[in-house]
Chains A and B, each alone.
Chain A
């Protein structure tokens, strides 16, 4: 028996060596200067001063076929985020529920996949179409993959509004954009340059296929090249939206680059606190800056200890709140193609950009001075 195990181990070792060498050669072949961004054109903002006004664009969203008149009527709405069980989407749900309670004419519920998985999300939406809802709110795990099922919803007369992560424009009616990609990119890179001056920086993202993150990284790269060329990009690593993996990946970066690493960007609300934790535990606070997207509650300990100076985000509660109001306005027929603004309860008038997107506002930087004013 022992002999057998030994023999198996021998074979395994041999086989694992072959496997490892294959993996190394393939990762070398795929290496190079790719940063984890996407191929879409970038539009970096000017290094200082106000952003130029964008050109007006015609409505490019879709429209439901034979939607019944829902004006002022009670409507049932399902909210399908990328995944459930993380703080960020719990906050958007909270916003949706606040809006629904205020209006009194919307029965909303949130149901999402337990992992950010395209297939589960599609199946879930399809089931709700069969069940017969009046409206669907979604945050897409993939802009293309979700399109057929959203188009099906439109064809059944269901109102469809996206938030947080967009689909193809013609597969939904409106999209509530939390902040423009180039605005977020500018906020992150400016804060990083302000903290480290110059040197090597690395990125911890979710996965290379996540559309928002890939877009931000592209815009960051473009803006960084234009305005802060002294920042040197080292590597982008994937950590899904997983706490432990994010911590490990940040830790690996710290060990791998040593004193060459001056800063880490966290691209998700999970990666940023995990990176801050890794820097804290490695006693590198002050030597390695962490700048990223995250919710204030998760970042409060690191901001208070002085390890993290700036956290960039919008309010996910407001995002959900605005999405619910936009859906109500679409169902009522008060938000039509060609509109330039829409009323969203306590948020006031929100402006329409890029044809069929509603802009929540500018990105916001949390720091030691103001982080206590927020609770989400």
Chain B
């Protein structure tokens, strides 16, 4: 546990240094308006990354989240416009389809014992294909104004979706850190066979986690549609990599058994801070990517160095 805390404190330090440096470099960066606005862009990847932390802690991975986002967005549009359901019902349908897509991942992984990497790589293609097929590649638009409150509106001066992210963060942080569900998640990642013999319902836990991952992606999809006011089948492409990057940067071990929600939150903050701050400081997007890659490697190296010396 001491080792984990160390990684997160190093990360926090890096975040603070980045915030400080960038606010000197770009005067528009450290304004309340800009920071809150960045929260909007952070929402979709945050929701997915929070649950992805659970997935990776069990030693698994979910590559299909971007495709589930796209599929749910399309289902939302089709259910509302083509099938004529009221929009709140259509949102419910989209969230259910996303959850079922996640459950399907879980079933393939637990029942057929397909490694999660391969299973979700396959469903990444499957769900994206379904999204394109169902939508016939047409975008769906013309949503009523009240729907845009979710992605473009504000509540008490803070972007609406940030409240959802805040709730999700506290909720998942509590589950992973303080409940038997959380301890079961760690146990599965640390040693699945031992966990099975200790009487932990390994398959049930995994099914639940992959379903939650599908739900989070679907919710992100609904918010994304509300933010950009249109539905397209290519939404969320590449989202899985952004989410996994944040989780791993946050100190979650890709081999499972280790990781925290707060680490993931710091990881998300660091990446978005760099993206936005460097852009405002006048660095073009290609330069920004190079800088992000560099900081990622550096942070992980420093953290490894400290951890090794404390273990040795």
Chain A residues packing against B (C-beta within 8 Å): 7-8, 11-12, 14-16, 19, 22-23, 26-27, 29-30, 34, 36, 38-39, 84, 109, 111-115, 117-120, 122-124, 126-128, 130-132, 142, 144-145, 147-148, 207-209, 214
B230 close to chain A: CB less than 8 A: yes
Contact B126 A145 (CB under 8 A): no
Q: Which residues of A contact B289 (CB under 8 A)?
A: 114
3 interchain residue pairs of minimum CB distance? A208-B137, A144-B230, A30-B133
Query: What residue in chain B is nearest A30 (Cβ atoms)?
Result: B133
B117 to chain A, nearest CB (A): 12
Report which of A11, A23, A124, A142 forms a contact with B113, defined as CB distance below 8 A: A11
Contact B141 A123 (CB under 8 A): no
How many Å lie between the Cα of A8 and that of B119 in the bound state? 12
Q: Which residues of A contact B233 (CB under 8 A)?
A: 208-209
B139 close to chain A: CB less than 8 A: yes
B229 close to chain A: CB less than 8 A: yes
Q: Which residues of A contact B118 (CB under 8 A)?
A: 12
B121 to chain A, nearest CB (A): 11
Report which of B224, B230, B280 forms a contact with A130, defined as CB distance below 8 A: B280
Report which of A23, A131, A214 forms a contact with B137, defined as CB distance below 8 A: A214
Assuming the A-B contacts A19-B126, A114-B285, A132-B28, are A142 and B133 also in contact, with contact meaning beta carbons closer than 8 angstroms in the complex?
no
**B interface, by DSSP: helix, strand, loop or mixed?**
helix
B240 close to chain A: CB less than 8 A: no
Contact A123 B112 (CB under 8 A): no
A-B contact pairs, 7 of them (CB 8 A): A8-B113, A19-B122, A23-B126, A30-B134, A109-B284, A118-B234, A145-B229
Q: Which residues of B contact A112 (CB under 8 A)?
A: 285
How many Å lie between the Cα of A116 and that of B42 in the bound state? 20
B41 close to chain A: CB less than 8 A: yes
Assuming the A-B contacts A12-B114, A130-B37, A145-B229, are A208 and B136 also in contact, with contact meaning beta carbons closer than 8 angstroms in the complex?
yes
Query: What residue in chain A is nearest B272 (Cβ atoms)?
Result: A123
How many Å lie between the Cα of A123 and that of B33 in the bound state? 15
Chain B residues packing against A (C-beta within 8 Å): 26, 28, 33-34, 37, 41, 108, 112-115, 118-119, 122, 126, 129-130, 132-134, 136-139, 141, 152, 224, 227-230, 232-235, 237-238, 275-276, 279-280, 282, 284-286, 289
A209 to chain B, nearest CB (A): 5
A192 to chain B, nearest CB (A): 23
Q: Which residues of A contact B119 (CB under 8 A)?
A: 15
Contact A36 B284 (CB under 8 A): no
Contact A111 B235 (CB under 8 A): no
Among A8, A112, A123, the most chain B Cβ lie within 10 Å of the Cβ of A123
How many Å lie between the Cα of A84 and that of B129 in the bound state? 26
